[in-house]
Amino acid sequence: AQSVTQPDIHITVSEGASLELRCNYSYGATPYLFWYVQSPGQGLQLLLKYFSGDTLVQGIKGFEAEFKRSQSSFNLRKPSVHWSDAAEYFCAVGGAGGTSYGKLTFGQGTILTVHP
């Protein structure tokens, strides 16, 4: 079964500082990986995704993530955080075949607080 772990429940950074949110996954084959952002009381917005190819993926809002198969990780990064980035971030793994095809399993989420 696929699973996702986000080790950090809450992260606080200063505006302008760099950011890295950790994500580790468990999946039997090459996974489909996603990062979503959720503002309070809102749905999810896709930041970026990895299906195959280049392991460094660029997303919206200046975010990027790197797929590292050897570490089963897909960490999200941003070089300079803006106050508007404060939100909750979810990493997800998608089933690539069989009965799990298309189904997303989400991590527990990381709440990002940005200090001015």
Residues that bind another protein (CB under 8 A): 32, 36, 41-46, 49, 51, 90, 94, 102-109
In angstroms, rounded to a whole number, what is the distance separating the alpha carbons of residues 53 and 88?
27
Instruction: Specify the residue, 17 or 51, whose C-beta has the smaller distance to another protein.
Output: 51
The region, left, alpha or beta by phi > 0 then psi within -120 to 50, assigned to residue 85 is alpha
**How many beta carbons lie within 10 A of that of residue 107, not counting itself?**
23
| Residue (61 or 79) nearer to another protein, CB | 61
Q: What are phi and psi of 85, to 5 degrees?
A: -80, -10
At 44, list the tokens.
Answer: 């999810």
96 is written with which tokens? 């690539």
Whichever of 78 and 90 has its CB closer to another protein, that residue is: 90
Q: C-beta of 43: minimal distance to another protein in Å?
A: 4
Does residue 98 sit in helix, strand or coil? helix
Shortest distance in whole angstroms from residue 80 CB to another protein: 27
Nearer to another protein, 6 or 78 (CB): 6
Minimal distance, residue 50 CB to another protein, in Å: 12
| CB 107 to another protein: min, Å | 6
